[in-house]
Amino acid sequence: MTDSKIFHLGFLRFVFASVVCINVLGINAINASQTNPSENLAKTAEKIADMFYALNGEPNNPHKKINHTKGFCASGEFIPNQKVAKDFAIPFLHSSKIQVKARFSLGGGEQSDKSKSRAMALKMQSENSDFWEIAMTNSRVNFAKNADEFMQFLGINLEQKQGKITPQEAAKKRESVSSFVNFAREIGHLGVSPSFADSAYHSVHTFFFTKSNDELVPARFSFVPKNGVKNLNPKELENLNDDFLESSFKKQLKSGAIKFALVLEVAKQEDSLEDTTSVWAHIDSNGEKTIREHITLGELRLDSFSGYECNEEVFMPSILPSGVQPPKDEIFDVRSMVYAITFGRRQ
Active site residues: 68
Phi, psi values for residue 111, rounded to 5°:
-120, -10
Task: List all residues 6 or more positions away from 144 whose beta carbon is below 8 Å from its beta carbon.
Answer: 150, 152, 153, 179, 180, 276, 277, 331
Distant-in-sequence, close-in-space partners of 195: CB < 8 Å, separation ≥ 6: 230, 245, 248, 249, 252
- Rounded CA-CA distance 262/307 in Å is 24
CA-based R_g, the chain, Å: 20
The response to whether 339 counts as a known ligand-binding position is yes
User: DSSP secondary-structure letter at 311?
Assistant: G
Widest CA span in the chain: 58
Q: What is the DSSP annotation of 229-266?
A: -----HHHHHT--S--HHHHHHHHHTTS-EEEEEEEEE
SS (H, E, C) 47-101: HHHHHHHHHHCECCECCCCCCCCCEEEEEEEEEECHHHHCCECCHHHHCCCEEEE
Do residues 313 and 122 lie in contact, with contact meaning Cβ atoms separated by under 8 Å? Answer: no
Q: What residues pair up with 261 in beta bridges, in sequence order? A: 224, 299
Q: In residues, how long is the chain?
A: 347
- Amino acid of residue 86: K
Binding-site residue numbers for heme are 339
Binding-site residue numbers are 339
